[in-house]
Amino acid sequence: LSSSDSVFFMYPECTARKGSDEVCSMLHTFCYEYLDLSVKNLDIFCDGCSGQNKNYTLIRFLHNLVHTEKRFNYVKVHFPIRGHSYLETDKNLGIINQKSRAEIPDDWLDIFRHARTKPCPFTVHKANIDTFRQWTSHLAPYYKKKCPFPTRPVRELLIERAEEFTGIE
């Protein structure tokens, strides 16, 4: 957000669905291909859609990023109260001319790329079948089958790595 850069992942729905596995796959790609590796703390703002964002697959995925892959020291997910926020993505989508003509799906890529010039053009990632992974089944053997807490009332989720004990005082 500080740089006003925005990355849009675009794909036809015949390539992938719009569920938690797809969200985790796009986050993984963003964290390793677009986010500088020196970034060690990540704050995510997202809506409370249980099918995409507020679910056990995403929680396990983020825990995996912090504790197994050690990509971040912490990840904090904010779920603003419905109707009380106007997220950056909402503003960015408002810039797109909804009346633009697109005859083929790739036309949308150009429409998004050219929708904004200042402060910088949107980055468009054309996702393909290789972008998407089955995170739910991949992470299942390493975690409890059921989330140990109810996700519905969660407004903020913090996953952090505790400092490792070295035995030296």
- The structure's pTM equals 0.89
- Exposed, middle or buried, 65 (CB in 10 Å: 0-12/13-18/19+)? buried
List strand residue ranges (DSSP E) for the chain, in order: 7-10, 41-45, 74-78, 123-126, 156-160
Name 74's bridge partners. Answer: 41, 160
- Band the pLDDT of 156: cuts 50, 70, 90: very high
Cα–Cα dist 140/20, whole Å? 14
- Band the pLDDT of 116: cuts 50, 70, 90: very high
Q: Are strands 156-160 and 74-78 parallel, antiparallel or unpaired?
A: antiparallel
Residue 50: per-residue pLDDT:
81
User: Phi and psi (nearest 5°) for 41?
Assistant: -125, 130
**CB of 76 closer than 8 Å to CB of 156:** yes
Cα–Cα dist 164/50, whole Å? 33
Per-residue pLDDT tens digits for 15-59 = 999 999 999 999 999 999 999 999 999 999 988 788 888 999 999
Cα–Cα dist 104/89, whole Å? 24
Residue 134: per-residue pLDDT:
98
Residue 144: per-residue pLDDT:
96
**CB of 58 closer than 8 Å to CB of 23:** yes
Per-residue pLDDT tens digits for 62-71 = 999 999 999 9
As a whole number, mean pLDDT of residues 149-168 equals 82
Q: Which residue in the block uniquely carries the two structure tokens 């949107």?
A: 122
